[in-house]
Chain A
């Protein structure tokens, strides 16, 4: 459908954008438009004004400071995936982005838009959760740092207050010896995943798993950390049996619901399989 009517502004500074949003509760931010424009085309939203963030300088910077990778909200998927800093300091994020949407969408969509949109199947949300990321937001009251665990409140719902913008995502740089894995299943390449998993952990001198982190994609109503399989893995040497045990508890911990794409039982089972595949990937274990 044609989009509903709205006015348009493209401020060149962040304060200008925030005051436009604060002055009109029905105004919405426009980043890459790859989620918002479809929402408008389906007439699922009717904002009075779109405040385009594209002309704000420096909102797309990618930098590393004090062993933390900071990615500006307006950094587009393609730029993040191609960034040498991301290549060096966050291979897991880079791998995850190759599963986000399609070529053309990755040339426009931004990381800030993805976080703010909060789709339960967004790969970035799961990476952020698994990596203890921090979201930096700015609103009329100033700047604040939000731990990712407090950011996603439900499907398409975040802790952002009205007129507050995501300005950056901060991830701890990955130590080079961190083991990591990624797996997802989608019906067609580029579609949102029916389920997926992000995992990472370290191995101690004796070869046992320490500090395992696991997050699920798509199977629940929101991006979720899966703590039950983490508990199963901690202190164990990687083996097919222990990976299977972790995947089984991941299935049990996933609170999927029936939907158009499959039953809750199918989604839970798929979520467990994705945890198994991501772990096998991280351990370089070939699944039979």
Chain B
């Protein structure tokens, strides 16, 4: 992140990190999670699921900020994020 003035406590603030889980066979390929992820780290995979849709996959799992937006916009209960274990942050 770029700052025009570096906050005094920027060293102390930890940006949260998440791990995304995808329950592929529930996905119906609407693409909402892909379109609205603030970090743009999701994309359609080339795989097909049981129903013939392309579920999303993670492009870069190191920059998920665990905002849960993919989880709450998904109409299918097919994707969610959990906090990454501490050693994975930073």
A binds B: no
- Enumerate chain B interface residues (CB-CB to A < 8 A): none
- Enumerate chain A interface residues (CB-CB to B < 8 A): none
